[in-house]
Amino acid sequence: MNESPFAVNPFSREIRVLLIENDLAEVRRFKEVLSEAGEKLFPVTWADRMAEGLSRISGDSVDLIALGLSLPDSSGADLFARVHAQASHLPIVLLVSAAQETEAQQAVLAGAQDYLIRGKWESSVLPRVLRYAVERKAVERMKDEFVSSVSHELRTPLAIVKEGVSLVLDGVSGPLTADQDKILKVAQDNIDRLARIIENLLDVSELDRGRMKLKIQPIDIFDLIRKKAEQLAPKIREKGIEFSVQIPSEKKMMEADPIRVEQILTSLLGNALKFTRKGSIVLSVTEEPDRLICQISDTGIGIAREDLPKIFRRFQQFGRKDGPGEQGTGLGLWLSQQFIELHGGSVWVESEQGRGTRVFFSLPKPVVPAVEPA
């Protein structure tokens, strides 16, 4: 069992710092300030390149990473993403220039604990920032473990309830009246919704811990998209929404995780359906030399221009109304973005309030090695 972050006085606990920074003046000042605060409380290991720093993250030898965003072998958002991917279990505090503050703020949204601007932080601030970063990360870890544990515990009883309702709907226990059938179908829909929420929470937990691994395999991507569309079509048309699918008829083999691609499609089509009261939804696929692009267009309520930059933030919701109806958790688009980017693709949105939305995502085609002439 992990030690509670409040089990010992946080101001007397040793914090082992891995400093990854190329600016020698900043390194010198960083070490001097921590030495004054108590050298034994803040032992510092230094690396001046990303690769060297990553090689020093092993076992439990590091409690916190202080990361400069300008290194010889990487910089900016890409540098943070690569370090965070390998050390998502550790708190990361960024050391940035004033010009990099926007990048630092984006990194905080993506998982960094805090940032300090070079030349502007006071000596008394550094030890406190590092300690608070460690404590916040410990609390986050406890929260993630709790969510993961509760979600796992809910899975089994929910599966039993779902199976029981399915058996009754199938007439195993005898014929049903029309009202009974209607009530049980509503129950079944809500059980499925709860199951999706639980799976989303488990996926968030795995992504936060850096444990999410894709199960890549050869798949006929056109066939997979077509079958998922056929599966979701009745629910869309049930609302009186016209649904059309424009996918090439030939076979197209790609390397991807079929479960995650289906999850992306379910989420994006579900969002289109949720915010389209009338009109149409179109699912289309086009090819470019190095990637495949899937587009989901709808004639729904659209998204305000000022909200577009926030659309892929975790727990972000737009157009949510109080009252009955499925309201979601605000995780679907964020998870879709994570799965798409894990495949090496990208996702983007075009929308205008009152005039519908177009969501695009790309998946890279496999590189076919050139065959040299005999």
Q: Is 66 exposed, middle or buried (0-12, 13-18, 19+ CB in 10 A)?
A: buried
More confident: 259 or 120: 259
Query: With 90 as the cut, is the pLDDT of residue 35 above it?
Result: no
pLDDT of residue 9: 53
Q: Which of the given ranges, 204-218, 299-313, 325-339, has the highest pLDDT on average? A: 299-313
Place of tokens 């406890």: 142
**Cα–chain center distance at 93:** 21
CA atoms of 69 and 294, how far apart (whole Å)? 34
Query: Which of 128-142, 199-213, 264-278, 296-310 shows the lowest mean pLDDT across its residues?
Result: 199-213
Whole-number Cα distances in Å, 307 to 304, 312, 350: 5, 10, 11
For strands 64-68 and 17-20, give the pairing: parallel
Whole-number Cα distances in Å, 40 to 19, 36, 46, 65, 131: 16, 10, 16, 17, 14
CA atoms of 128 and 25, how far apart (whole Å)? 21
Query: Which of 200-204, 205-209, 239-243, 257-261 shows the lowest mean pLDDT across its residues?
Result: 205-209
Place of tokens 């993506």: 110
| Cβ neighbour number for residue 154 with a 10 Å cutoff | 16
pLDDT of residue 323: 40
Query: With 60 as the cut, is the pLDDT of residue 201 above it?
Result: yes
pLDDT of residue 104: 92
Query: With 80 as the cut, is the pLDDT of residue 373 above it?
Result: no
Query: With 50 as the cut, is the pLDDT of residue 268 above it?
Result: yes
For strands 114-117 and 92-96, give the pairing: parallel
Query: With 60 as the cut, is the pLDDT of residue 25 above it?
Result: yes
* pTM for this prediction: 0.66
**Cα–chain center distance at 77:** 16
E strand intervals along 289-356: 291-298, 346-351
Largest CA distance in the chain: 80
353 strand-pairing partners? none
Mean pLDDT of the 179-196 span: 90
Our CA dihedral for 308, 314, 319, 325, rounded to 10 degrees, sits at: 150
pLDDT of residue 358: 95
pLDDT of residue 364: 93
CA atoms of 349 and 358, how far apart (whole Å)? 6
More confident: 149 or 172: 172
Mean pLDDT of the 122-132 span: 87
Place of tokens 């221009």: 305
For CA atoms 89, 91, 97, 101, give the dihedral sign. Answer: positive
CA atoms of 333 and 72, how far apart (whole Å)? 34
